[in-house]
Structure 1
């Protein structure tokens, strides 16, 4: 059995997308937990202790923008790598995400292989220029 590559918390209000991401990352050797929105993510982040969080932007209760901002401003979670995965493909949205300090920004529909590459690079500690 392969060593676990890292722990990922997958946050998306769409169960199909959440499971798609989770299955792909699990098959690649990551330990995966899921959350259904930003508030669920913040409620569980200390229990899960993820290395990386994949985060949808448009979600009920607490959106991805605010969730990422809270993760970045909390000293206990600011080190966690964050990948925004969103249908919001405008350059202003990308700049907003990078301004918050997210580590990568992918647009839906995304290529699962690209997501795996991004998460692997972050798990390896590589800097991403996206």
Structure 2
């Protein structure tokens, strides 16, 4: 077993997408934990303490925007890298994401290789283009 590249919390209400992201990151050497929505993410994040969180924007109960804001607002989670994944790629969404302090932004449908590279860079402490 090689070194784990980092721990990722994958948050998406769509099970197919959640599993797709989890499997791709797992194969790449990341330890992956999943959550079904923003509320689930916030309840689990302190137990998991991931290096990176991939966060779907459109989710029931608590959307990705609100979840990201709450992660940034808490000292214990403010350092965790956040990748927003959304079907909406308008410039104002990216501006909003930057305002919240998310670290990266991917548009569905995304290229799994691009997702892996973004997560790998963030887990290694490198900046990515937002």
Common fold by TM > 0.5: yes
1:90-109 map, 5 Å: 90-109=90-109
Query: How far apart are 1:129 and its partner, in Å?
Result: 2.3
Report the equivalent of 1:86. Answer: 86
Whole-angstrom distance in 2 between the partners of 1:98 and 1:54:
15
Report the equivalent of 1:74. Answer: 74
Q: Deviations over 1:21-75 (max 9, x none)?
A: 0000000000000000000000000111111000000000000000000000100
**How many pairs are equivalent?**
130
Whole-angstrom distance in 2 between the partners of 1:117 and 1:53:
14
Report the equivalent of 2:57. Answer: 57
Helix, strand or coil for the counterpart of 1:34?
A: strand
Flag structure 2 segments of 5+ consecutive residues without an equivalent: none
Whole-angstrom distance in 1 between the partners of 2:124 and 2:48:
19
Flag structure 1 segments of 5+ consecutive residues without an equivalent: none
Q: Which runs of 4+ in 1 moved over 3 A?
A: none
Whole-angstrom distance in 2 between the partners of 1:21 and 1:3:
20
Whole-angstrom distance in 1 between the partners of 2:99 and 2:16:
29
> What root-mean-square deviation, in Å, do the aligned CA atoms of Structure 1 and Structure 2 show?
0.5
TM-score if structure 1 supplies the norm length?
0.98
Query: How far apart are 1:107 and its partner, in Å?
Result: 0.4
Q: Deviations over 1:64-103 (max 9, x none)?
A: 0000000001001000000001101111111111110000
Report the equivalent of 1:38. Answer: 38
